[in-house]
Amino acid sequence: MGKPVGMEVSIAISHAVRLANADVVAAYPITPQTHIVEHLAELVADGELDADYVSVESEHSAISCCVGSSAAGARTFTATSSQGLALMHEILFICPALRVPIVMVVANRALSGPISIWNDHSDIMAERDIGWVQTFAENGQEAVDLTLHAFRVAEDHRVLLPMIVNIDGFTLSHFIEPIELPDPKLVARYLPDYEPLMRLDPDKPISMGPVGIPEVYTEARKAMDNVLVNSKAVVLDAWQEFADVFGRTYKPIESYRAEGAETILVTMGAISETAMTTIDTLREAGRKVGLVRIRLWRPFPFEEIREALSGARTVAVVDRAMSLGGPGGPVCSEIRSAFYETSRRPHIFGYIAGLGGRDVTIETFTEIIDKAEAAAEKGTRNEYEMIGVREI
Amino acid sequence: MARKIKEEALCPWKDLPLGCAITEPGSAKKFKTGDWRSQRPVIDYDKCIKCGLCYIYCPDMSIKMRGDGFFEVNLDYCKGCGMCAHECPKKAIEMVEEVEE
C-alpha cells in the first residue's frame, strides 16, 4: 500500500482517471468542477495520460462527444456541475438507453436561481431519473476509490450503463486531504481494459439509437429499469473486489453507532463526516442516537435501508435539495417509500438543510435530531421542514 | 380511413438487442410503414409522361420504374405524404382517401 499524500480532492480524482487509463476525456470547465478537468488536460498535455482530451464549447457537446467515444469503444470520462449538468440533461437519458459506460464525476452545486456556485444536491436531484448508476462520496479517498469503482461497474458486461460519482462541490472538491493513490499495478488488476460488447466500427456497421416506436418503447424502458436494478449485484461485487485488492471496504449504506439507537439521522455526501462527529458528541451525552449514510443512490438500496432503520423509533432524513411544491426532499421520499408497505415503521421526518452553500454544522444536526425527537414524542406529522430559515 | 395501428409489442423485452441497436443492414425493409397512410397516390397512366419526378422526389423510395417505363407505388412502404402528386408536372397523380378494408 502506498503512502497517503496531502492533495486537493479534484486533483486526486484526475489522478484516478489517469490510473484508470481513460482513452477520451471531453469536458467543459465549470465551478466547482474545473480543477478536475483542468488537471486532466495537463496530464494529457504532459504525456502522463495517453488520452484524447476534447475541448468542447458546452456541456451539451461534452456529453454528446462522450456518447460518441464510448460508443466507439473508448474508456470515456467527463465531469461537470450544476448548470453544466442541467445543460447535459437531454443527452443524459440517451446514455443508458445506448448502454454506453461513460463515467462522470459531478461536483454537486446548487442550481440557479438565484445564481449560486455553492454546494448542495439540487443539480443531481434534478437528474435523479436519468437511468445512470449513482454513488455519493464522503471524503477524498472515497472520491478516488469510487471513480475507479465506477469504471469497473459501468463497463461490466452485466451492466454497461453510465455511472456518476457525486462529490460535494468545494466542501469536498477543493479540500486538501490525505489521499493514497493506488498502485498502478493493482489498478490494472482491478480494472481490466474495456471490452465493449458492441461498438461503432466501420468494418462492421451497426446503428445505435434507432427510433422506439410504440411497439418497442415500453419494452425498451423495461429493459433499462431491469438492468439498472440488477446492477446493484455488480456494484456490490466490485466493492468486494475493491476490498480484496486495495483493502478498503464500501457498502451501499453505512451505519454509524446505530446499534440500539432510538433516533437515526440519515445523510448523504460529505456532510456525513460532520454528522458522525455529532453522533459521537450526543452519544457521549448519553443520547441513543445513530447515523446511516447513503453511498449508493441509484439503484436505491431499499432493502438495506429497511434493515438499517427498522429498529429505530425516529428517523430524521437530511436532504440537500428540495422538490418544490412536492414532498420535500428526494432522499426522504425514497425512505418513506421504502417503509410504506412495512407493518412496523419508524416516524420519518424530513429536513432540508445546507442549500446553496449554507454550512451544516454539529449544531444543525443537533437541532434536527431534537426536532425529530420532539415531533415523534408529540405524535405530530411533518411533511418536511427547512432548517435555518431566518424569519425575522 | 387508416387501418388500425397495432399497439402490441414487437417482441418481449428480454429479446431486445443491447441498447436496441440495429446490427444488420437493410432492416428498415422489414418494417412496413404503409399502414401509416391515410391517402394513397393513384397514377393516371394516360397523363403520365414517364418523367420520373415522382420517383426522384419520393422520400421513402416507394416508387419504382416498371419494365414499360411507367412508374408504380409500393404500398407496403408509401406513407401517403403526397409529394409525388404535388411534384407531378402533368397532374397525373391523385391522392385518394384510404378506406377501411
User: What is the DSSP code string of B42-101?
Assistant: EE-TTT-----HHHHH-TT--EEE-TTS-EEE-TTT-----HHHHH-TT--EEEEE----
Nearest CB neighbour to A99, from listed B8, B14, B18: B18
Angle between helices A140-154 and A217-246 (to 10 degrees): 130
Strands A133-136 and A296-298: antiparallel
Written as tens digits, the pLDDT of chain B (101 aa) is 444 444 588 899 999 999 999 998 888 888 899 999 999 999 999 999 999 999 999 999 999 999 999 999 999 999 999 999 999 999 999 999 998 76
Tell me what pLDDT residue B2 has: 44
- CATH number of the A253-386 domain: 3.40.50.920
Nearest CA in chain A to B18: A99
CB contact under 8 A, B16 and A223: yes
| Closest to A63 in 3D by CA, of A32, A27, A35, A34 | A27
Q: How far is residue B4 from each of residues A154, A248, A284, B34, B38, measured CA to CA in Å?
A: 42, 60, 72, 12, 11
Q: In which band, very low, low, confident or very high, does the pLDDT at A232 lie, cut at 50, 70 and 90? A: very high
B23/A contact by beta carbon, under 8 A: yes
pLDDT tens digits, residue range A233-277? 999 999 999 999 999 999 999 999 999 999 999 999 999 999 999
- Structural Rg of chain B based on CA atoms: 17
- Contact (CB, 8 A) for A326 and A291: no
pLDDT tens digits, residue range A63-76? 999 999 999 999 99
Nearest CB neighbour to A98, from listed B6, B19, B25: B19
pLDDT tens digits, residue range A49-59? 999 999 999 99
CB contact under 8 A, A216 and B9: yes
Contacts of residue A190, Cβ cutoff 8 Å, sequence gap at least 6: A148, A152, A182, A241, A242, A245, A246
The mean pLDDT of A291-299, rounded to a whole number, is 98
CB contact under 8 A, A215 and B6: yes
d(CA B50, CA B61): 16
Please give the grid coordinates belonging to residue B101.
378494408
**CB-based burial label for A133 (10 Å; 0-12, 13-18, 19+):** buried
For domain A5-246, the question of CATH label 3.40.50.970 is answered with: yes
Strand residues in A195-262 grouped as ranges (E): 253-256
Please give the grid coordinates belonging to residue B75.
404500398
CB contact under 8 A, B10 and A97: no
The mean pLDDT of A307-324, rounded to a whole number, is 97
Hey, of B15, B20, B30, B33, which one would you mutate to test binding to chain A, going by the most A CBs within 10 A of its CB? B20
Q: How far is residue B54 from each of residues A151, A178, B68, measured CA to CA in Å?
A: 53, 72, 16
Chain B: give the shortest CA distance to residue A112, in Å.
34
d(CA A140, CA A159): 26
CB-based burial, A345-368: b 16+ in 10 Å, e otherwise: bbbbbbbbbbbbebebbeebbbeb
CB contact under 8 A, A215 and B14: no
d(CA A285, CA A276): 14
Tell me what pLDDT residue A1 has: 57
SS (H, E, C) A248-294: CCCCCEEEECCCCCCEEEEEECCHHHHHHHHHHHHHHCCCCEEEEEE
DSSP A316: E
Fold held by B32-97: Alpha-Beta Plaits (3.30.70)
The mean pLDDT of A279-285, rounded to a whole number, is 98
Tell me what pLDDT residue B4 has: 47
Judge if A5-246 and A253-386 fold alike in CATH terms. Answer: yes
- Contact (CB, 8 A) for A215 and B8: yes
Chain A: give the shortest CA distance to residue B91, in Å.
34
**Category of A31 on φ-ψ map: left (φ > 0), alpha (ψ -120 to 50) or beta:** beta
- Contact (CB, 8 A) for B70 and B45: yes
Chain A: give the shortest CA distance to residue B36, in Å.
12
Tell me what pLDDT residue B7 has: 58
What are the residue boundaries of the structural domains of chain A, listed by start?
Answer: 5-246, 253-386
pLDDT tens digits, residue range A152-209? 999 999 999 999 999 999 999 999 999 999 999 999 999 999 999 999 999 999 999 9
Please give the grid coordinates belonging to residue B64.
419504382
Around Cβ B85, how many Cβ atoms within 10 Å?
20
Chain B: give the shortest CA distance to residue A379, in Å.
46
Q: In which band, very low, low, confident or very high, does the pLDDT at A357 lie, cut at 50, 70 and 90? A: very high
Tell me which residues of chain A, numbers 179 to 198, contact chain B at a CB-CB cutoff of 8 Å.
197-198
CB contact under 8 A, A198 and B19: yes
Name the one residue in this structure whose C-alpha cell is 414532498: A327
Tell me what pLDDT residue B101 has: 66
Chain A: give the shortest CA distance to residue B15, in Å.
9
Q: In which band, very low, low, confident or very high, does the pLDDT at A360 lie, cut at 50, 70 and 90? A: very high
B101/A contact by beta carbon, under 8 A: no
Tell me what pLDDT residue A227 has: 98
B4/A contact by beta carbon, under 8 A: no
Q: In which band, very low, low, confident or very high, does the pLDDT at A136 lie, cut at 50, 70 and 90? A: very high
Name the one residue in this structure whose C-alpha cell is 438487442: B17
Is residue A337 predicted with pLDDT exceeding 50? yes
CB contact under 8 A, A210 and B18: no
Nearest CA in chain A to B13: A219
d(CA A117, CA A357): 8
Q: With pLDDT > 70 as the criterion, what percentage of chain A qualifies? A: 100
Nearest CA in chain A to B11: A216
CB contact under 8 A, B16 and A219: yes
Chain A: give the shortest CA distance to residue B61, in Å.
19
CB contact under 8 A, B20 and A220: yes
SS3 at position A177: strand
Model ipTM? 0.88
